[in-house]
A and B are shown apart, each in its own frame.
Chain A
Amino acid sequence: MQFLAPLAFWLAVLAIPIILLYMLKLRRKQVQVSSTLLWQQALREQQANAPWQKLKRNLLLLLQLLILAALIFALARPAWQTRAVASGSVIVLLDASASMNATDVSPTRFEAARKTVRALVDELAGDAVVTIIEVGYTPRALVTSTSDKAVLRQAIDGAQVTQGSADWQSAFALASGAARDDQNITTVIVSDGGLPESGLPALAGEVRYVPIGVTGDNLAISALALRASGGGLQLFTEVHNFSDTARSVTLSLYLGQTLFASRPLDLPAGKSASITLEDLPNAPGIYKAHLSDPQNSTLDSFPLDDTAFAIYQAASARRVLLVSKGNIYLEQLLASLPGVQPYRAVPAADGTIQIPSDPFDLYVLDGLNPPGIPAGANLLYVNTPPNPLFTVGSPFTDMKNVKVNEHILTRFVDWSNVHVLQAKKLIAPEWADVLIEADAGPLVFAGEQNGQRIAAVGFDLRESDLPLQIAYPILFSNLINYLVPPSAFDASRSLEPGDGLSIVPDPGVEQILVATPLEHAFTLRPEANLTFTETDELGYYAVNFISKSGTSVEYFAVNLFDEAESDLRPRETVQVGQSTLTAAVAEKVGQREFWPWLAGLALIVLLVEWQMFHRRNLSTLLETVRPKA
């Protein structure tokens, strides 16, 4: 045993004032009695057990001195020498990847790792500088270069396991930065071994590996995907057996809460099996795949990858049909708009136009109004032809006082340099908002009637210089996004935990509320380049778009389709740089301080002393107030 702060023993001089104060305090209160005779005789009997009485009389003093002694010893920081994994300055890389949630070590691998790191820190010398890096999908330094053990313990307690993959490259970069080429530093990797097989850079100083975990028994859903195929949906599921024994499991598939398929699967050790379900009803919704063991209530020690989600919603790319005799401006515009899949209906030799029977999200009618357009379809008229929805009059050329009305669709539209040769006189119906108008009549309007969105441009693009102006793509992008709103994000792709999701909300959306699988809520403001990054949890997320007209919900899923995480087999070795690391053994000299026990002892003795003091005082009080007999 050694003392790390022996100077604290000087505090022993505090015993002198305690004894002095005690002696001063013991100046007894004088009380007159009729005779001391009887007292002397009573006391004489007490002398029989005098040593105990003496001790009892001075017990408070002894307890106070004991408290002082315990505190002084605690302050002197006594420590035992122990065997430790590392000594000196240490960088700890604490694996916080999804596989650390496995319960093969009680309660979890991560808790075991946390305990290991805590023990490591406790056994380090008092002046050892420690950096702890939590290695999740975004590695972060929990604490850098400190020797304060309280801070270190707090940091260790604050470490959180994630449900995603670990980014070891970034973690090693962080560790290299913290090491600053110090060759005396020891880097300790506390992990279940899910490190990349190769490609990790060498680290300065010594690198040691503390493996966590005992068994690799795990089954995982390694893929779940949906796609439209023919008239229906195709669902692809792949299950992998990472254990060393063959397993028979049941794969259950749900749409929402409803089970619609259940398949038994026999999986040899280390093999995978896939199931493809064809011609499922074309129903948008949340599809869930779940693995279970019919023989056993628990499938494996890692439940995170036993469930996966896939979202199917209407195709995200908007299908737009351009009906035109040929308009290079419109063709180029439609081809350049993101999320738009343009189609063109060309006139046959006889001039007739055949409209395809497949429905389109939007029909752009450039001076034509051929039959075959489905009723209720969204329409954009350019060089508006006569139509049954509103009145189209004769052309006019008087373009005085062209005015761009304040509207969400005319935002950033600068009409000052736009010239129009002539336009057809449009009579805007009641349901429409006039966006741009001249004295002689409206040039552009848009509106919605019975769920059908319609916009009309009164002039031929070729009879104006609009396509040459910046206002052209802005106006037409606004109009097309209004007529067929784009999907806010691509839900068909499953995300990995920690991936960002780019969200492009409708112009009218005022607030976005994201509910996570564990029912945490995040509120976002619609803005350009909006990316949601809080995708730590596995499951499906509900994205609520709140606008004045109501709330719409879209979903996306986050799944752990990561073989490195699902393969729980603890690795005996890891490859770092050119060296292969095996499990570290405790061979360094460490220190284990035990001052908290002494401080605890001081506290307990203090409580005892306090209670004894009060018991004495209380009895004195009771005696003096006791009614006389």
Chain B
Amino acid sequence: MIFDESTLRKLNQLSLVASRIRKGAIKGERRSSRRGSSVEFADYRNYTPGDDLRRLDWNLYARLERPFIKLFEEEEDLAVYVLLDGSRSMGWGEADENKFDYARKLVAGLGAIAISNGDLLSVGLLQNGRVSAEFGPTRGGAALSRLFNFLEPLQAEGDTDLNTSLRHYAVKPRRPGLLILVSDLLSAEGYEAGLRHLQGRGHEAALVHVLAPNELDPPLAGDLQLVDVESGQTQDVSLDGSLRSRYKAHVQEWLQTTRADCRKHDIHYLDLATSTPWDQALLLEMRRSGIVK
């Protein structure tokens, strides 16, 4: 399990908090299906596991022998796509500061928020330039434990080519929705083109940038050969005070550039150090950055 019992309770509580925030925030934009009384048929869509069977058009099923869900004008659920970077670099960080563990908790939290709001949730693991594992789309309370079961065995391994992975994800036609990418962005090819591509498909993009504290300020000095855990590439450095401060400055500059870039392209952006408690990240930081409304 990703979450122990107490964490799960906390998560439930969080989801409630998130749900309240969502309700308050979305008034006038989306109406909740539970409250909607003036039901007006608009369209059909394919049944996906987890859809409310009460909305299944049994007549149509009898005629065509395929399940379709009736859509109503007022009912507009949100498709939420959470993409998790599963590269080896994400496996960096000791114990609580491990980026992948931290990212999994964020995904689980975001999933919990989405499910509790009846949104359609999909989770994808990006590895080796493709989507190596996918969860959903699904909705409904039971999906949460399945989401946990999906996240549990995931490992951070393989290379990341975010652009390729994101393009790969975009190949499959999906309902436009909120797309959240959780990654350390340590990808030589970059992520911008991929995200732009998805934005082009009508998705609203959000980027959660996760870094370990020792990436922001590495506790290293002396003559070292740095080995990239992901690519195995080496880099010789003679680390003294000046190079360290240059590195730190460079990291900050990188974060600033990424933030500015995202703002420019209308991407919600949040950078998180794994030293930030993940619940605080969900409750405060994501709200602040507009990922959770």
B254 to chain A, nearest CB (A): 7
A38-B241 CB under 8 A given contacts A32-B229, A43-B235: no
A27 to chain B, nearest CB (A): 9
Q: Is the CB of A29 within 8 A of B229?
A: no
Asked if A533 CB lies within 8 Å of chain B CBs, one says no
Binds A, one of B4-12, B102-110, B119-127, B212-220: B212-220
Please measure, in the bound complex, the distance between the C-alpha atom of A35 and the C-alpha atom of B89, giving whole angstroms: 6
Residues of A within 8 A of B186 (CB): 34-35, 37-38
A33-B222 CB under 8 A given contacts A38-B247, A40-B235, A629-B275: no
- The DSSP consensus for interface residues of chain B is mixed
Residues of B within 8 A of A32 (CB): 226-227, 229
Please measure, in the bound complex, the distance between the C-alpha atom of A43 and the C-alpha atom of B243, giving whole angstroms: 8
Asked if A180 CB lies within 8 Å of chain B CBs, one says no
Interface members, chain B 239-258 (any A CB < 8 Å): 240-241, 243-244, 246-247, 250-251, 254
> Which residue of the partner chain, among B214, B235, B236, contacts A628 with CB atoms under 8 Å?
B214
Asked if A57 CB lies within 8 Å of chain B CBs, one says yes
Residues of B within 8 A of A43 (CB): 235, 237, 243
Residues of B within 8 A of A57 (CB): 238
A21 to chain B, nearest CB (A): 14
Q: Is the CB of A38 within 8 A of B225?
A: no
Could you mark each residue 142-182 of chain B with 1 if its beta carbon is under 8 Å from any beta carbon of chain A, else 0? 00000000000000000000000000000000000000000
Residues of A within 8 A of B234 (CB): 30, 36
Asked if A400 CB lies within 8 Å of chain B CBs, one says no
Interface members, chain A 597-629 (any B CB < 8 Å): 616, 619-620, 622-624, 626, 628-629
Residues of A within 8 A of B236 (CB): 28
Q: Is the CB of B221 within 8 A of A623?
A: yes
Q: Is the CB of B229 within 8 A of A37?
A: no
B103 to chain A, nearest CB (A): 13
Please measure, in the bound complex, the distance between the C-alpha atom of A28 and the C-alpha atom of B186, giving whole angstroms: 24
Asked if A502 CB lies within 8 Å of chain B CBs, one says no
Asked if B92 CB lies within 8 Å of chain A CBs, one says yes
B234 to chain A, nearest CB (A): 7
Please measure, in the bound complex, the distance between the C-alpha atom of A123 and the C-alpha atom of B89, giving whole angstroms: 72
Residues of B within 8 A of A624 (CB): 219-221
Closest-by-CB residue of A relative to B90 is A34
- Among A34, A616, A622, the most chain B Cβ lie within 10 Å of the Cβ of A34
- Among A29, A37, A616, A629, the most chain B Cβ lie within 10 Å of the Cβ of A37
- The tally of residues in B whose CB lies under 8 Å from a CB in A reads 43
A629-B225 CB under 8 A given contacts A35-B89, A37-B188, A42-B246: no
Q: Is the CB of A34 within 8 A of B215?
A: yes
Please measure, in the bound complex, the distance between the C-alpha atom of A33 and the C-alpha atom of B221, giving whole angstroms: 13
Residues of B within 8 A of A37 (CB): 186, 188, 228
Q: Is the CB of B226 within 8 A of A33?
A: yes
Residues of B within 8 A of A34 (CB): 89, 92-93, 99, 184, 186, 212, 215, 228-230
Task: Place the interface of chain A in its size category.
Answer: 20 to 34
A24 to chain B, nearest CB (A): 12
Residues of A within 8 A of B222 (CB): 29, 616, 620
Residues of A within 8 A of B243 (CB): 42-43, 46
A64 to chain B, nearest CB (A): 16
- Among B214, B225, B237, the most chain A Cβ lie within 10 Å of the Cβ of B237
Asked if A45 CB lies within 8 Å of chain B CBs, one says yes
Asked if B223 CB lies within 8 Å of chain A CBs, one says yes
B84 to chain A, nearest CB (A): 16
Q: Is the CB of A623 within 8 A of B220?
A: yes
Residues of A within 8 A of B220 (CB): 31, 623-624
Asked if A245 CB lies within 8 Å of chain B CBs, one says no
Residues of A within 8 A of B221 (CB): 619-620, 622-624
Q: Is the CB of B223 within 8 A of A33?
A: no
Please measure, in the bound complex, the distance between the C-alpha atom of A116 and the C-alpha atom of B221, giving whole angstroms: 56
Q: Is the CB of B218 within 8 A of A33?
A: yes
Asked if A349 CB lies within 8 Å of chain B CBs, one says no
> Which residue of the partner chain, among A36, A56, A620, contacts B228 with CB atoms under 8 Å?
A36
Asked if A10 CB lies within 8 Å of chain B CBs, one says no
Interface members, chain B 62-113 (any A CB < 8 Å): 89, 92-93, 99
Q: Is the CB of A31 within 8 A of B213?
A: no
Residues of A within 8 A of B53 (CB): none
Please measure, in the bound complex, the distance between the C-alpha atom of A628 and the C-alpha atom of B219, giving whole angstroms: 8
Asked if B233 CB lies within 8 Å of chain A CBs, one says yes
Q: Is the CB of A33 within 8 A of B227?
A: yes
B187 to chain A, nearest CB (A): 8
Residues of A within 8 A of B212 (CB): 34
A46-B246 CB under 8 A given contacts A30-B227, A34-B229, A36-B235: yes
Q: Is the CB of A31 within 8 A of B225?
A: yes
Asked if B224 CB lies within 8 Å of chain A CBs, one says yes
- Among A35, A38, A45, A624, the most chain B Cβ lie within 10 Å of the Cβ of A35
Residues of A within 8 A of B231 (CB): 35-36
Closest-by-CB residue of B relative to A37 is B186
A35-B227 CB under 8 A given contacts A29-B222, A46-B246: no
Asked if A352 CB lies within 8 Å of chain B CBs, one says no
Interface members, chain B 15-70 (any A CB < 8 Å): none
Q: Is the CB of A629 within 8 A of B89?
A: no
Residues of B within 8 A of A623 (CB): 219-221, 244
A45-B92 CB under 8 A given contacts A624-B221, A629-B217: no
Q: Is the CB of A45 within 8 A of B250?
A: yes
A616 to chain B, nearest CB (A): 7
Asked if A389 CB lies within 8 Å of chain B CBs, one says no
Q: Is the CB of B250 within 8 A of A42?
A: yes
Q: Is the CB of A39 within 8 A of B92?
A: no
Please measure, in the bound complex, the distance between the C-alpha atom of A182 and the C-alpha atom of B100, giving whole angstroms: 95
Please measure, in the bound complex, the distance between the C-alpha atom of A32 and the C-alpha atom of B92, giving whole angstroms: 10
Please measure, in the bound complex, the distance between the C-alpha atom of A37 and the C-alpha atom of B226, giving whole angstroms: 11
B81 to chain A, nearest CB (A): 25
Asked if A26 CB lies within 8 Å of chain B CBs, one says yes
Asked if A41 CB lies within 8 Å of chain B CBs, one says yes
Please measure, in the bound complex, the distance between the C-alpha atom of A622 and the C-alpha atom of B223, giving whole angstroms: 15
Could you mark each residue 179-223 of chain B with 1 if its beta carbon is under 8 Å from any beta carbon of chain A, else 0? 000001010100000000000000000000000111111111111
Closest-by-CB residue of B relative to A28 is B225
Q: Is the CB of B247 within 8 A of A39?
A: yes
Please measure, in the bound complex, the distance between the C-alpha atom of A41 and the C-alpha atom of B254, giving whole angstroms: 10
Residues of B within 8 A of A626 (CB): 219
Please measure, in the bound complex, the distance between the C-alpha atom of A29 and the C-alpha atom of B235, giving whole angstroms: 11
Please measure, in the bound complex, the distance between the C-alpha atom of A35 and the C-alpha atom of B211, giving whole angstroms: 11
Interface members, chain A 113-138 (any B CB < 8 Å): none
Please measure, in the bound complex, the distance between the C-alpha atom of A33 and the C-alpha atom of B218, giving whole angstroms: 9
Q: Is the CB of A619 within 8 A of B246?
A: no
Residues of B within 8 A of A629 (CB): 213, 216-217, 275
B112 to chain A, nearest CB (A): 28
Closest-by-CB residue of A relative to B275 is A629
Please measure, in the bound complex, the distance between the C-alpha atom of A57 and the C-alpha atom of B238, giving whole angstroms: 7
- Among B93, B99, B230, B238, the most chain A Cβ lie within 10 Å of the Cβ of B238
A-B pairs with beta carbons under 8 Å apart, 17 shown? A34-B184, A35-B89, A35-B186, A35-B231, A36-B228, A36-B231, A36-B235, A37-B188, A38-B254, A39-B237, A43-B237, A45-B246, A619-B241, A623-B220, A623-B244, A624-B221, A628-B213
The 5 closest A-B pairs by CB, nearest first: A34-B92, A623-B221, A35-B186, A28-B225, A620-B221
- Can you add 19 more A-B contacts, CB < 8 Å, to A29-B222, A33-B215? A28-B223, A28-B225, A29-B224, A33-B92, A33-B227, A34-B92, A34-B184, A35-B230, A36-B234, A37-B188, A38-B215, A39-B235, A39-B247, A41-B254, A46-B246, A57-B238, A616-B222, A624-B220, A624-B221
- On B, residues with C-beta under 8 Å from A are 89, 92-93, 99, 184, 186, 188, 212-231, 233-238, 240-241, 243-244, 246-247, 250-251, 254, 275
